[in-house]
Chains A and B, each alone.
Chain A
Amino acid sequence: MAEFTEMTVEAAEKLRAEQPYEHRIHVSLLGKHGGFQPVPVLSASDFVKVTTGLNPVFSAEALARWVTERLGDAELGEAISAECADLALFAQAPVACALVAERLAQAEEVLGIAEPAVVEA
């Protein structure tokens, strides 16, 4: 469980915003025999959706950069970098997913939108 600082309304909106297509990131779903089409991810909620219960691979570095530059959340970006740095490629998804989901839930609470996506420990 990461210790995130409070979010402003602006920051929460920025985090939740769907990115223009040219600013997508990709995650790749693999199975025993592989897979072909990387999934184009345009938002934080998209990312949580495709990493919950699935174990796609992606560049943690690219994800951290995307979160910082596009979603405007340097804190989340840092947390991702820090926690995924030493993880094997195939172990990153659950960690990154939990971080993004937590921050997203925080954002949604700030905006009074929905129940938190992640239950507080």
Chain B
Amino acid sequence: MATGGYVGKILRLDLTARTSSVIETEKYVQWGGGHGIGSAIFWELCTDKTVTGRDPKNVVTLMTSPLSGTMAPSASGRVEIQGIGTAGYPINWFTRSNFGGRFGGQLKYAGWDGIVLEGKADSPIWIDIINDKAVFRDAKDLWGKDTQETQQLIWELKENEEHGWTEIGKTRDSGRTTQKPAVITIGPAGENQSALGCLVHDAGNAAGQGGFGAVFGSKNLKAISVVGTGSIEIADPAGLFNARIWAKDEYAAAPGQQVEPNGPTFGVDPAPVFLYAKNPDGPMGPQACQGCINGCRARFETGIANESSCQETSMYKAFDVLAHGEGTDASYIATDLVQKMGVNSYELMQGMGYLYALSKMGVLGKGLEIDTDIDMSRIGEADFVIDLVDKISNREDIGEDLADGFVRAAEKWGRLEKDYAAGILDFPYWGYANHGYDPRAELEWGYSSIMGDRDMNEHGFNANFWSVIKHMMAGMEMPVSAEEYAKITTSKMVPYQDDMSMVDYSTENMYSESFAKLVVWQRHYTRFWKQSALYCDFRYPDFTNYNREDNVGITGDGEPKFWNVITGQDITFLDGIELGRKIWNLDNAIWILQGRHRDMVQFASYIYDIPLENSLVGPYYPMAGKVGDEWAYINTLGRSIDRDGFEEWKTHFYNLEGWDVASGWPTRETLEGLDLAFVADALAEAEKLGGV
């Protein structure tokens, strides 16, 4: 069995007993890495899958892939975290999140492919991993500290320098490094088990969704630190180096190259992705996760909100502008704050919109129906967001109501159905905040999210939306027509490559089998290539790449190339997608044991009842689609999802997956075809096997 890329051991930590043991990675190599291995381990070790996220019986995995810590471009830096979350509504689904930076590489260099967390410590601890040793340390001096202070305190402990190199262990040959420990930590929100708490690594890498901050807090786990001085074997080292240069020369933006605007894909330049109303324009330098082909963030002369980009920079934008008529420092302070305090900026962003609505409606405020000491008139100012985050972190005032997320808060306040119906509680799927790529316009985003367990956060088809918008803003013509986009994109979507209608976003096509194929393909592709092999969502899939004369991106060729040259395996792009299908089936089995059934797979009511008239980019939401027989970038605003149409679409989806159409449960035939007979047995025992 090819073993390149893997380091052979998974660290299993019993937080209750404060002991560690080793799981041989070999046992799970068939699941690939990342999510696949995490789901497989969770399946085995979490015996009661109906427990809630804060239950000590919850099993959490942090998993790398064979590509982590290697030169695989934009596939080296990410870590997949899984377990039962605290965010999902109405069920704390078994969920996933993911963070970048350098933690995954350090874990691999330490000799670990991943970490498993079980049980609950009887007092606050942090885990100190130095190569093959994992020590449980008392976190009393870290508890209560923000994510920056925590990391800095841990780094101070490690200073044992010999001429700039820190020696590990006592002998000349025990290993040395110049690198600071890589730490993942919660802030006060997680410590107090607020579902709005998240995990933060370095200045701006966060696993935000799913409420894993509260999960860590429920286990009395403050942080995990890792120092690794070892090395990762590579099956074909020269081949890997060549492949990296190939990717750089053939697909990447050259330094200082003026690239054609595109969504987040492989060929973009390393300008930081800022979404502030007024972007920082002082001196700054680029910053990227380990191994990235071209990074997406920066560090600043001010040192404020270092490594923050994209969503967390837009979090406070609307209210900053409403208060001041322009973007101000309040936005930078807000972004910096959520990184330091470890609070989910997506929840907070849409959540603040909800709180604003309630305050304008005379429902939320001092002495009002929902009583709060927070001065809602200060929304948009720095002091407002500091006050709100403080209350969330400490579960005070409305922070206590918000401790299970905004949707459950609405439920507590007796307003859930009515605020959903009014469209002011913009959380369309499973209690997760609207990503902005509304289900009514960008169909695959909503469908993928609702067929899963969370806001999917997969930009593969969204990238083209951004490409069109950016060209519109610049007054430039798109380098690919809608038809060309459809052709290039669908040609890569094996095994469905002959059906261009998969990316037809027209209303006529929105409930079709073709459109179900799109989502089926996406679930399988992302489950393996992105969430297990850990190719970064901000660079892959790369369908259209404008650095190329033919505009054809690296996806399909790039993903298996790096996988094989590192592991020594010989898998195809389709093999990976098939493995993704297997992992997806396992995940669904877990959800079914948690209580999932077709009937509960429904969006919030406003998605059906209120047509979307306005998007995050105004009165226009362009996606590829057909008008009659012609392809065009069509405006997908002005519609909602039809309930019956959605049921038709779900039936197509279940048929394509080989699942029972009435329940949405996989059949024995499908499961056995994937070597998942043991899953079929477990579902049968629970009387939840499809088609029985």
A46 in contact (CB, < 8 A): yes
B273: which A residues are within 8 A, CB to CB?
Answer: 33
B317 in contact (CB, < 8 A): yes
A29 touches B360 (CB 8 A): no
The distance in angstroms between the C-alpha atoms of A28 and B361, with both chains bound, is 22
Interface residue stretch chosen among B38-46, B148-156, B318-326: B318-326
A29 touches B615 (CB 8 A): no
A3 in contact (CB, < 8 A): no
Interface residue stretch chosen among A5-13, A57-65, A70-78, A106-114: A57-65
Task: Assess A57 versus B361: contact at CB under 8 Å? Given A37-B317, A37-B318, A90-B473.
Answer: no
A89 touches B620 (CB 8 A): yes
The distance in angstroms between the C-alpha atoms of A46 and B324, with both chains bound, is 10
A37 touches B353 (CB 8 A): yes
B326: which A residues are within 8 A, CB to CB?
Answer: 53-54
B614: which A residues are within 8 A, CB to CB?
Answer: 25-26, 28, 38, 58-59, 62
A39 touches B322 (CB 8 A): yes
Which residue of A20, A28, A46, A54 has the most chain B CB atoms within 10 A of its CB atom?
A28
Closest B residue by C-beta to A63: B619
B357 touches A31 (CB 8 A): no
A21: which B residues are within 8 A, CB to CB?
Answer: 357, 360-361, 424
B22 in contact (CB, < 8 A): no
A36 touches B618 (CB 8 A): no
B275 touches A33 (CB 8 A): yes
> Which of chain A's residues 51-108 have a Cβ closer than 8 Å to chain B?
52-54, 56-59, 61-62, 88-90
A20: which B residues are within 8 A, CB to CB?
Answer: 360-361
Distance in Å: Cβ of A18 to nearest Cβ of chain B = 8
Closest B residue by C-beta to A37: B318
* Partner among A22, A49, A58 whose Cβ is within 8 Å of the Cβ of B322: A49
B617: which A residues are within 8 A, CB to CB?
Answer: 28, 30, 34-35, 57
Distance in Å: Cβ of B432 to nearest Cβ of chain A = 14
B662 in contact (CB, < 8 A): no
Which residue of A30, A31, A36 has the most chain B CB atoms within 10 A of its CB atom?
A36
The distance in angstroms between the C-alpha atoms of A65 and B350, with both chains bound, is 26
Task: Assess A36 versus B314: contact at CB under 8 Å? Given A22-B422, A46-B322.
Answer: yes
B356 touches A37 (CB 8 A): no
Distance in Å: Cβ of B348 to nearest Cβ of chain A = 11
Closest B residue by C-beta to A25: B614
The distance in angstroms between the C-alpha atoms of A59 and B277, with both chains bound, is 20
B361 touches A36 (CB 8 A): no
A36 touches B311 (CB 8 A): yes
A54 touches B275 (CB 8 A): no
A26: which B residues are within 8 A, CB to CB?
Answer: 614, 618
A31: which B residues are within 8 A, CB to CB?
Answer: 274-277, 279
Distance in Å: Cβ of B61 to nearest Cβ of chain A = 30
B322: which A residues are within 8 A, CB to CB?
Answer: 39-41, 46, 49-50
Task: Assess A37 versus B325: contact at CB under 8 Å? Given A20-B360, A57-B619.
Answer: no
The distance in angstroms between the C-alpha atoms of A37 and B346, with both chains bound, is 10
A52 touches B325 (CB 8 A): yes
A58 touches B619 (CB 8 A): yes
A27: which B residues are within 8 A, CB to CB?
Answer: 618
Distance in Å: Cβ of B469 to nearest Cβ of chain A = 7
A52: which B residues are within 8 A, CB to CB?
Answer: 325
The distance in angstroms between the C-alpha atoms of A28 and B436, with both chains bound, is 11
Distance in Å: Cβ of A24 to nearest Cβ of chain B = 8
* Partner among A34, A49, A62 whose Cβ is within 8 Å of the Cβ of B325: A49
Give 1 or 0 for each of B612-624: 1 = CB within 8 Å of chain A CB. Answer: 0111111110000
The distance in angstroms between the C-alpha atoms of A88 and B314, with both chains bound, is 25
The distance in angstroms between the C-alpha atoms of A39 and B361, with both chains bound, is 17
The distance in angstroms between the C-alpha atoms of A90 and B619, with both chains bound, is 11
B436: which A residues are within 8 A, CB to CB?
Answer: 36-37
Closest A residue by C-beta to B349: A37
B653 in contact (CB, < 8 A): no
B627 in contact (CB, < 8 A): no
* Partner among B310, B615, B618 whose Cβ is within 8 Å of the Cβ of A33: B310
Task: Assess A40 versus B361: contact at CB under 8 Å? Given A21-B424, A34-B469.
Answer: no
B521 in contact (CB, < 8 A): no
B325: which A residues are within 8 A, CB to CB?
Answer: 49-50, 52-54
A39 touches B321 (CB 8 A): yes
B472 in contact (CB, < 8 A): yes
* Partner among B318, B360, B469, B470 whose Cβ is within 8 Å of the Cβ of A42: B360
B584 in contact (CB, < 8 A): no
B274: which A residues are within 8 A, CB to CB?
Answer: 31-33
* Partner among B356, B472, B473, B619 whose Cβ is within 8 Å of the Cβ of A62: B619
The distance in angstroms between the C-alpha atoms of A26 and B321, with both chains bound, is 13
The distance in angstroms between the C-alpha atoms of A52 and B619, with both chains bound, is 20
Distance in Å: Cβ of B425 to nearest Cβ of chain A = 12
Distance in Å: Cβ of A119 to nearest Cβ of chain B = 18
A37 touches B314 (CB 8 A): yes
The distance in angstroms between the C-alpha atoms of A39 and B617, with both chains bound, is 11
The distance in angstroms between the C-alpha atoms of A72 and B119, with both chains bound, is 63
A41: which B residues are within 8 A, CB to CB?
Answer: 322
B466 in contact (CB, < 8 A): yes
The distance in angstroms between the C-alpha atoms of A30 and B617, with both chains bound, is 7
The distance in angstroms between the C-alpha atoms of A118 and B125, with both chains bound, is 62
* Partner among B275, B356, B620 whose Cβ is within 8 Å of the Cβ of A35: B275
Give 1 or 0 for each of B536-548: 1 = CB within 8 Å of chain A CB. Answer: 0000000000000
B616: which A residues are within 8 A, CB to CB?
Answer: 28, 34-38
List of 4 A-B pairs having minimum Cβ-Cβ separation, nearest first: A57-B618, A59-B619, A21-B360, A49-B325
A-B CB contact pairs (8 Å), 11 listed: A22-B424, A29-B277, A29-B321, A32-B470, A35-B616, A36-B349, A40-B318, A41-B322, A50-B321, A57-B617, A58-B614
A residues near B (Cβ < 8 Å) are 20-22, 25-42, 46, 49-50, 52-54, 56-59, 61-62, 88-90
B residues near A (Cβ < 8 Å) are 271, 273-277, 279, 310-311, 314-315, 317-318, 321-322, 325-326, 349-350, 353, 356-357, 360-361, 422, 424, 435-436, 466, 469-470, 472-473, 475, 613-620
Beyond A37-B315, A49-B322, 15 extra complex contacts between A and B, CB < 8 Å: A20-B361, A21-B357, A21-B361, A22-B361, A25-B614, A32-B274, A32-B470, A34-B616, A35-B275, A36-B435, A40-B322, A41-B322, A56-B618, A62-B613, A89-B618
